[in-house]
Structure 1
Amino acid sequence: MTNPLTDPRFANNRSLIASICCAAVCGIVFGLSMPLVSLRLEGMTSSGLIVGLNGAAAAFSTLVMAPIVPRLLSLVPGRVLIVVSLLCAGALHALFPVFETVPAWFVLRFVMGSFMTVVFVVSETWINQIATPMRRATILGVYGTVLSGGFGVGAFLFGQLGTSGDAGFYAGGLIFLIGALPIILLQGPAAQAPGKDEASPTAILNAARLAPAAIGAALAFGALETVLFSMAPVYGDRLLLSDAGISMVAMAAAAGALAFQIPLGWIADKTDRREALKWIATTAAITPLAIWAVGDYLPGMMLLFFIQAGVASGLYTVGLALVGERFSGGAIAAANAAFIFAYGTGSLFGPPASGIAMDGLGPHGLMIVMAMIAAIYAALVWVRAAPTDADS
């Protein structure tokens, strides 16, 4: 009887499961810690500005850390990098109630975000290197679905643990520690280290230049995802929806992010990834206008938010698969760093832009911004996918 934990035939599967476990761990802790830290900060400061800036510290850590990860991966084995990053992030998460001051929480949020960026870049590089080309987008769809599902699990844990005590902080730290076990125990092919030239900042810039459609997908998704999930409650409130209605819209969006990623990945694998990105981006540009049209009609809002969140999630899945298609070996590390950097950029600047639009144009300014973000990216991929462009 074969043992799947040691049989060489299952080595690739073990590595894939280990890397996908990284998404589960990060998703759970994100879903738990985001409301936990925000609400505790609100109680400490009564300042929405401080809460928002603390969230931006996590996004900023992505921009700082992502370009450094390929160099780290060229010096330290990928498994070691992930395990050390998970252990450090776990320790930092447990330190929030120990150092309960606003400056300390900014430092902790930034440094913890830096370690989580290492986990994302290395794990996604790892998947892209060992996934078979014919199934790459589908496997990444599983990765994205697990990440989204982790958010839901984390949100459920937050609901159970609440903010009155410190259990949520210690639980998040423990989840990070447990997340290191699959990386240690499930042995298989390791992430291929980039060479010196492949790990340089120039290589990261070149990746963005050589594959703008792939890297641009992360930029668009980062902006759309954070705008959707951070500003949709405000949108519902300004349309005078009840708290229950706002919650139902948020749940519909979360369900869309869960439901669409694997099917869109499968379609991209069976057809053409650039072609899939064209239609994903086009749909993501049209749907916000439809949301605007239905106004405060709750069933219509729920259906369209379900579609918008689901379709937008395909930008990340298929864009990341396109990275694996365009690059190979150690070069994927630099391309994936560019991908994560682009995601961080979008997530940093998307919410302020939508907030300004909502203040100036009313609630539907949010839909205008979302439509514009997706439309600009759609224009890029339609041009890059044109038959006359050999470097699409």
Structure 2
Amino acid sequence: MLKDGKSFVLETALKAGPQPQKLTILIMVIIVAGMSQGMLLPLLTILLDRSGVSTDANGLNAAALYIGIFSTMFFIEKPVRRFGYKPVIMVGMGLVILANCLFPAWQQIGFWFVLRLLVGIGDSALHYATQLWIVTSSPKEHRGRNITLYGMAYGIGFSLGPIGITLLKVGIWGPFLTTSLFFLLILLLLTKLKNERPERGERAEAVHKRASKVAAMAWFPLITSLLYGYMEASMNSNFPLYGLRIGLSEPNIGVLLPVMGVGSLIMQLPLGIWSDRIGRKKILITSGLIGALAFFCIPFAGTKLWLIGLLFVIAGGMVGSFFSLGLAYAADILPRHLLPTANVLASIQYSVGSIAGPLIGGTVIRYSSAASIFYMLSFIYILFALSGLLFRRETMSST
């Protein structure tokens, strides 16, 4: 059933935009990248815990992935402009493959920290180049559909990733080598694509000038990446604390967390299509308000699992597409030669949000109440919707 559904989604979304073969291969890159990240996060934590590593050291080791992602954003734009999308994606995949092959070779926490940095750099490079390639090669009327397909692909891959943990029964090499094999197969397909580069402006500009222009012209679309990173990291880190404090069992918490991702997967494509038809600003404001209402209602659901799950589906469905829709909206507004800079700023803001979410959530839980994490999320999404009413930038990009 899943296979049939994915086929329908791909066939529907690939009718327009980039050449079907190119978009199909790029989507496959993201599915495998999502599978890798979805597997590595819990797998490495489990293996380190088995070896007796403390929980705080385990958490610090996991942060290496996000450090790698964050640091990459300060230099990735230049190689993409110089060499094109394809080489950057291939190098990123190569780094992830290398790290996957080395993880089981030496189970030492310091060594794994370095390997996780490499995975973060590789993932960041291939995601940046892939999403930018899709955005820049999609016509405006199908841009929302195509970039939300990117988000769906990552969500599907990330959801399937943890299944790889079951391969530990064949030995520690099983999960890592299987993931590397998937990457190698996609890498072979990627070699068939013709390389492309981002458009250049009429004259070269300093990075800070391009960044200032992007921030001035597209501040509202770019806020979405900050909010998405904050929401995702806050829910993954703080909801388990909330659940335990209100009396939910650990298995129930483990079941509820993926439900938000299910809502996001269900609504990614419809929101993308609607944004193409009625405008991305209207969709973002409406989604933000509905998401804010859903988050606000969660504490009133008590311990009713079905009601919490329903609210999670609504909240995830509404705000789970924020990153991809924000990129599509920025692409509508900005000249094409500024899109690489916009993607860099979006990725930096996502990383900042991912770091801030658990810290702010943990603080409000400690000094206020567990329910405060949802009131905080509701408040920031209402602020986002109100700020959208002040945003009046006209479309300037060529389509």
TM-score (normalizing by structure 2): 0.88
1:322 equivalent to 2:329? Answer: yes
Deviations 1:77-124 (A, max 9, x none): 211111121012111122112232222111111122012111111111
Cα pair 1:358 1:366 within 8 Å, conserved: yes
Counterpart Cα distance in 2 of 1:57 and 1:231: 20
**1:362 Cα shift?**
3.1
**Residues 237, 68 of structure 1: CA spacing in aligned structure 2 closer, same or farther, 3 A cutoff?**
same
Counterpart Cα distance in 2 of 1:172 and 1:37: 14
1:5 alignment partner in structure 2: none
In structure 1, what residue type is equivalent to 2:100?
H
2:244 alignment partner in structure 1: 237
2:139 alignment partner in structure 1: 132
Deviations 1:258-287 (A, max 9, x none): 111111111111101111111112222221
1:308 equivalent to 2:292? Answer: no
In structure 2, what residue type is equivalent to 1:39?
I
Query: After the TM superposition, which segments of 4 or more aligned residues of structure 1 sit over 3 Å from their partners?
Result: 159-164, 193-199, 389-392
**1:67 Cα shift?**
2.6
Deviations 1:217-239 (A, max 9, x none): 00100111121233323322222
Counterpart Cα distance in 1 of 2:125 and 2:76: 6
2:4 alignment partner in structure 1: none
Tell me the secondary structure at the aligned position of residue 19 of structure 2.
helix
Cα pair 2:104 2:172 within 8 Å, conserved: no
Tell me the secondary structure at the aligned position of residue 110 of structure 1.
helix
**Residues 22, 239 of structure 1: CA spacing in aligned structure 2 closer, same or farther, 3 A cutoff?**
same
Counterpart Cα distance in 2 of 1:349 and 1:271: 33
Counterpart Cα distance in 1 of 2:278 and 2:165: 40
RMSD: 2.4
Counterpart Cα distance in 2 of 1:314 and 1:167: 33
Counterpart Cα distance in 2 of 1:241 and 1:299: 13
Farther off after superposition, 277-286 or 292-301: 277-286
**Residues 159, 283 of structure 1: CA spacing in aligned structure 2 closer, same or farther, 3 A cutoff?**
farther
In structure 2, what residue type is equivalent to 1:118?
A
**1:199 Cα shift?**
7.5
Cα pair 1:94 1:172 within 8 Å, conserved: no
In structure 2, what residue type is equivalent to 1:247?
G
**Residues 358, 90 of structure 1: CA spacing in aligned structure 2 closer, same or farther, 3 A cutoff?**
same
Counterpart Cα distance in 2 of 1:163 and 1:254: 29
Equivalences, count? 380
1:228 equivalent to 2:214? Answer: no
**1:15 Cα shift?**
1.9
In structure 1, what residue type is equivalent to 2:308?
M
- Between the two proteins, what is the percent identity of the paired residues? 23
**1:152 Cα shift?**
1.3
1:362 equivalent to 2:356? Answer: no
Cα pair 1:129 1:328 within 8 Å, conserved: no
**1:63 Cα shift?**
2.1
Cα pair 1:130 1:189 within 8 Å, conserved: no
Structure number with higher relative contact order (C-alpha < 8 Å, ≥ 6 residues apart): 1
TM-score (normalizing by structure 1): 0.89
Deviations 1:121-146 (A, max 9, x none): 11111001111210111111111111
Counterpart Cα distance in 2 of 1:125 and 1:162: 39
Counterpart Cα distance in 2 of 1:175 and 1:193: 31
Farther off after superposition, 198-207 or 219-228: 198-207
**1:176 Cα shift?**
2.5
Counterpart Cα distance in 2 of 1:79 and 1:287: 40
Match of 2:387 among 362, 377, 380: 380
Cα pair 1:194 1:333 within 8 Å, conserved: no
